[in-house]
Structure 1
Amino acid sequence: MSTVGWITARGLFGRRRFLILLPLPLLLVGLAVLCRSLNVAPSDWGPAVLVGLGLAVVLPVVALVVGTGVLGAEIEDGTVVHILTKPLPRWQIVLPKLAVATAVSAATVAVPLFVAGLLADSVRLGLALAAASALGALAYSALFLALSLLTRRPVLLGLVYVLIWEGLLGRFADGTRVLSIQQWVIALADRMAPTDLLGTTVSVPVAAILTGLVAVGFTVLAIDRLRSFSVAGETS
């Protein structure tokens, strides 16, 4: 399992599309520093930067690119054949890749969110945002990893979920927020560090339970889907 994880991490950091993610976290930190240096009230910029940019854009986009890339890229270029020919249970392939996707996504997003939360309110808020975003990275990574095995266009479907379901519908239809990973992250962060800068109608127990269910459910689905792949990389 450690070998699969190491190969995945090496391949991920060697791809250009991972490097294009770096401007997003830098933009998040830059806006927070700018607003703080200009003495803008946190109530004026906090929700827009922390939630509107950090949790609604940076977290899901980073997780989407990384989550679909840890296995999807190997399926696209055919190198998945080398993994499928190894005498490994499929869970020993999926779990290390999920771990790498979660770790990379969490690290990429948690650090700038901590800095932004610190500048907006306190160390406690920064830590809450970092911890909640790590849990969100796990749920998003499991979802997008499964999508890379279910469809040939996982990025497109992932963007539909993030932009349409979480973004558009989540803004105007309160009922859809219950099935929004973004809202679960907000609820968990707000529980760890209550603040007026965050707000959601999703309860903490619901957010915690659904985060776990999504992470486990889509991981199991990915393992089951990978079992149906033939050596040629096509589903049987």
Structure 2
Amino acid sequence: MTALYHPTVARLTYRALLGRRRTLMLSALPVLLIAISAVVRAVAGADDSTADGLLSGFALATMVPLIGVIAGTGAIGPEIDDGSVIYLLAKPVKRPVIIFTKLLVAIAVTVAFSAIPTLIAGLILNGNSQQIAVAYALAAVVASIAYSAIFLLLGTVTRHAVVCGLIYALVWESVFGNIVPGARTLSVQQWSLALAQWVGDGDVITSDVGLSTAVVLLTAVTCTATWYAGRRLRALTLAGEA
């Protein structure tokens, strides 16, 4: 793990992701989720189905992928777009190490701004009845890992990574992933819901994907996206390279 992590690259990536503008963007949805949860609890009281609906429909289906877009694409996309990545590539750091370090930073940021607020919102909504708060927090963690890898890859593939990421997050995950039955099997949201269903008590949380299938697909997508992002970065050549 140490050989795949570069502290300087991590520090620069954190600085880029946690600037004032991006921090405000990252904080908007978590603050809204917690505020809505507080209002719902005050008006409707503790209710498991309400907690499940809000955490599934807003936190997991909308907030987590959007934060993943901001963190995943922002970890490397702007450097490639403005050409400043050449200064990083000129350093004696292996390019897979750069990708893996940036992935870890993107995951950490996405988890901090999605899983923690999801846990807080769940505790507000029903006090973790039937383990709903913990289950959705775990789902947000594993979804954060997969989304970070997917959107980091997009940052190395296209200059329109944010647009492509938003289309994926809002159209595929939020619309097709919830409406079209066949698309649910290929949805990070459904894969993470399978883990939430396994952790939660009772039958409030449901997923269209089995646990073993979800674990395999989450692992495969995360590893494949990370590997290919490393290949894409290696394909970038500096002036004067053969």
Question: 2:54 matched to 1:49?
Answer: yes
Question: 2:18 matched to 1:10?
Answer: no
Deviation, structure 1 residue 120: 3.1
For 1:111 and 1:41, locate their aligned partners in 2 and report how far apart those are by CA, in whole Å: 20
Instruction: State the identity %.
Output: 38
Question: 2:112 matched to 1:107?
Answer: yes
Deviation, structure 1 residue 128: 2.1
Deviation, structure 1 residue 231: 2.1
Q: How does 1:89-128 map to 2 (within 5 A)?
A: 89-123=94-128, 124-128=131-135
Question: 2:137 matched to 1:130?
Answer: yes
TM-score normalised to structure 1 length: 0.92
Secondary structure of the residue aligned to 1:21 is helix
Q: How does 1:1-236 map to 2 (within 5 A)?
A: 1-14=6-19, 16-40=21-45, 42-43=47-48, 45-123=50-128, 124-231=131-238
* Alignment coverage as a number of residue pairs: 233
Paired residue type of 1:185: S
CA-to-partner distance for each residue in 1:10-37, whole Å, 9 max, x for gaps? 1211251332221200111111111111
Secondary structure of the residue aligned to 2:75 is helix
Unaligned runs of 5+ in 1: none
Task: Output the aligned Cα RMSD.
Answer: 1.8
Paired residue type of 1:2: P
Secondary structure of the residue aligned to 1:27 is helix
CA-to-partner distance for each residue in 1:173-220, whole Å, 9 max, x for gaps? 211111100111111111111344422211111111111111101000
Tell whether the 8 Å contact from 1:18 to 1:65 is kept in structure 2 after alignment: no
For 2:212 and 2:50, locate their aligned partners in 1 and report how far apart those are by CA, in whole Å: 28
For 1:136 and 1:229, locate their aligned partners in 2 and report how far apart those are by CA, in whole Å: 29
Paired residue type of 1:148: G
Tell whether the 8 Å contact from 1:5 to 1:97 is kept in structure 2 after alignment: yes
TM-score normalised to structure 2 length: 0.90
Deviation, structure 1 residue 7: 1.2
For 1:207 and 1:72, locate their aligned partners in 2 and report how far apart those are by CA, in whole Å: 28
CA-to-partner distance for each residue in 1:122-141, whole Å, 9 max, x for gaps? 43322222222111101000
Deviation, structure 1 residue 44: 5.5
Secondary structure of the residue aligned to 1:87 is coil
Paired residue type of 1:45: T
Tell whether the 8 Å contact from 1:64 to 1:158 is kept in structure 2 after alignment: yes
Tell whether the 8 Å contact from 1:18 to 1:66 is kept in structure 2 after alignment: no
Tell whether the 8 Å contact from 2:49 to 2:204 is kept in structure 1 after alignment: no
For 1:118 and 1:77, locate their aligned partners in 2 and report how far apart those are by CA, in whole Å: 42
Deviation, structure 1 residue 143: 0.3
